[in-house]
Amino acid sequence: MSVSDTLIAIEDSDFDFENRMVRVAIVRDCAPFSVIEKNWGPFSEGQEIELPYWVAEELILARVARPKDEDKLDLTALSKVHWKETIPTSRQVPGLEPGFYPKLRRLLSELRAQSRSDPTKGRDYEKAVNLSKDIANCRIRKLVSLSAAPPATQDLMSNLTSEERVLYENLNKTLLEWRRRILGPEVEQ
């Protein structure tokens, strides 16, 4: 595995996130439309439907729908994740909700866009950036430490996101190869 494998894992995670099914409530009638040779609609006000995230997002932006499953990351939820990650005695890698990193990128993008017109959102954006950097740095430190130790248990691996699993595997492989070259192939790893 390589750096490009890690980047591909991040892209794959975003692709999976964009294509996951979400529920929306239709708030006004919508005529049928076609995107990428797939037909959608018609939708009627009051209808609740399940759609791929990327379609639902467009309907929400067009004010045709509102999200039904409120699993969007916000500053309060980000602060809770930060608190769990930065507990001084914690060497554990707590689990993150599915799609955490794609949600985080969307939160940061949304706050950055809002900060251009609203100074209070600028403060929220700066806070979110600082919390995000702390979370990422804490998790990276824990992953580096785990990668240098004996192989991780399945229980521990289940707390890693798909992006983190690829990073862990890359780090582990690199450290094993480094030890082999430094200590020689005859020394047990």
**Token couple for 90:** 């914690």
In a domain? residue 189? no
CATH number of the domain residue 28 falls in: 3.40.5.50
Confidence (pLDDT) at 2 = 63
Cis amide leading into 42 (omega within 30): yes
Confidence (pLDDT) at 131 = 97
The residue type found at 48 is E
Q: Are residues 84 and 177 in the same domain?
A: yes
Confidence (pLDDT) at 115 = 93
Tell me the β-bridge partners of 33: 40
Confidence (pLDDT) at 90 = 63
* pLDDT tens for the chain, residues 1 to 189: 566 777 777 888 889 999 999 999 999 999 998 888 889 989 999 999 999 999 998 898 899 999 886 778 999 999 999 999 888 666 678 899 989 999 999 999 999 999 999 988 899 999 999 999 999 999 999 999 888 887 777 777 889 998 999 899 889 888 888 888 998 877 665
Q: Are residues 59 and 101 in the same domain?
A: no
Q: What's the CA gap between 1 and 177, in Å, rounded?
A: 12
Confidence (pLDDT) at 11 = 87
Confidence (pLDDT) at 186 = 75
In a domain? residue 5? no
In a domain? residue 60? yes
Q: Are residues 91 and 134 in the same domain?
A: yes
pTM for the predicted model, two decimal places: 0.81
Q: Are residues 104 and 26 in the same domain?
A: no
Judge whether 140 and 160 are in contact, CB under 8 Å.
no
71 burial (CB, 10 Å; 0-12 / 13-18 / 19+) is exposed
Confidence (pLDDT) at 187 = 67
pLDDT tens-digit profile of 58-68? Answer: 898 899 999 88
| Alpha carbon separation from 115 to 11, 25, 121, 133 (Å, rounded) | 26, 28, 5, 19
Confidence (pLDDT) at 153 = 76
> Whole domain around residue 147: which residue ranges?
75-183
Q: What's the CA gap between 3 and 7, in Å, rounded?
A: 6
Confidence (pLDDT) at 111 = 95
**Total tally of structural domains belonging to the chain:** 2
